[in-house]
Structure 1
Amino acid sequence: MQKQMMYILTIIFRHVASVKQIKAILLELHPVLPTRDEAFGGDKTTLEREERIQRIKRQCPDDRPAPMRDEIFQTKKQKPISKLPPGWLDCPAFGWKIGCIIPSNVPLGETFNNCVLPGKRCSFRQVLHQQRVLGRKFGMVIDLTNTSRYYSLSDWRKAGTRHVKIQCRGHDSVLDNVFVNLFVYEVSQFLARQKHVQKYILVHCTHGHNRTGFMIVHYLLRTLPISVTQVLKKISDARPPGIYKPDYIDALYAFYHEKKPEMVVYPPTPKWKRSSELNLNGDMPDDDDDGGPPAPLPVCVSARELSPLILLALYSRVKCLVIPSLLKV
Structure 2
Amino acid sequence: LRQIRTTVSFRTCNSIIHQDRTCKTINLVVSMPERGSSMSREDSHYRPYHHRRRHHHGGGGRRIPDRWLNYDPVGRDLEGTPFVPFKTPLDKSFFVGKDDLSEDEHFDVDRIVQYAREQGKTIGLVVDLTNTDRYYKKTDWENYNVKYIKMNCPGHEVSEREDIVQKFLETVDEFVSDSSNDEKLIGVHCTHGLNRTGYLICRYLIDRKGWSAAQAISMFEYSRGHPIERGHYKKSLYEAEERIRKGTPTENASTENGGGDATTP
Name the TM tier (shorter chain). 0.5 to 0.7
Secondary structure of the structure 2 residue equivalent to 1:174: helix
* Residue in 2 that maps onto 1:90: 70
Is residue 212 of structure 1 aligned with residue 194 of structure 2?
no
Given that 1:171 and 1:287 are in contact with CA atoms closer than 8 Å, whether structure 2 keeps it comes out as no
Instruction: Quote the Cα distance in structure 2 between the aligned partners of 1:197 and 1:218.
Output: 21
* Residue in 1 that maps onto 2:23: none
The size of the alignment, in residue pairs, is 183
Given that 2:126 and 2:187 are in contact with CA atoms closer than 8 Å, whether structure 1 keeps it comes out as yes
Gaps of at least 5 residues in structure 1 are 1-79, 259-285, 290-329
> Per-residue CA shift, 1:227-252, capped at 9, x if unaligned?
11121111111113331211111111
Q: CA RMSD in A?
A: 1.9
**Structure 2 CA distance for partners of 1:173 and 1:190, relative to 1, 3 Å:** closer
Is residue 288 of structure 1 aligned with residue 264 of structure 2?
yes
**Structure 2 CA distance for partners of 1:223 and 1:89, relative to 1, 3 Å:** same
Is residue 107 of structure 1 aligned with residue 89 of structure 2?
yes
Given that 2:159 and 2:233 are in contact with CA atoms closer than 8 Å, whether structure 1 keeps it comes out as yes
Instruction: Report which of the two structures shows the higher radius of gyration computed on alpha carbons.
Output: 1
Q: Return the TM-score normalized by structure 1.
A: 0.52
Instruction: Quote the Cα distance in structure 2 between the aligned partners of 1:105 and 1:194.
Output: 28
Q: Return the TM-score normalized by structure 2.
A: 0.65
Amino acid at match of 1:231: A
**Structure 2 CA distance for partners of 1:157 and 1:196, relative to 1, 3 Å:** closer
Secondary structure of the structure 2 residue equivalent to 1:138: strand
* Residue in 2 that maps onto 1:188: 173
Is residue 129 of structure 1 aligned with residue 109 of structure 2?
no
1:197 Cα deviation from its structure 2 partner = 5.8
* Residue in 1 that maps onto 2:215: 230
2:153 to 161, 168, 174: 168
Q: Calculate percent identity across the aligned residue pairs.
A: 28
Secondary structure of the structure 1 residue equivalent to 2:115: helix
Instruction: Quote the Cα distance in structure 2 between the aligned partners of 1:157 and 1:217.
Output: 26
Instruction: Quote the Cα distance in structure 2 between the aligned partners of 1:255 and 1:196.
Output: 28
* Residue in 2 that maps onto 1:320: none
2:135 to 126, 144, 150: 150
Given that 1:91 and 1:105 are in contact with CA atoms closer than 8 Å, whether structure 2 keeps it comes out as yes
Amino acid at match of 2:188: V
Q: Which runs of 4+ in 1 moved over 4 A?
A: none
Gaps of at least 5 residues in structure 2 are 1-59, 244-261
Instruction: Quote the Cα distance in structure 1 between the aligned partners of 2:170 and 2:181.
Output: 21
Which structure features the higher share of helix residues? 1
**Structure 2 CA distance for partners of 1:86 and 1:197, relative to 1, 3 Å:** same
Which structure features the higher share of strand residues? 2
**Structure 2 CA distance for partners of 1:182 and 1:172, relative to 1, 3 Å:** closer
1:225 Cα deviation from its structure 2 partner = 2.6
> Per-residue CA shift, 1:161-210, capped at 9, x if unaligned?
11000110014663401101111111111011133761111100011110
Secondary structure of the structure 1 residue equivalent to 2:149: strand
Given that 2:195 and 2:230 are in contact with CA atoms closer than 8 Å, whether structure 1 keeps it comes out as yes
Is residue 250 of structure 1 aligned with residue 232 of structure 2?
no
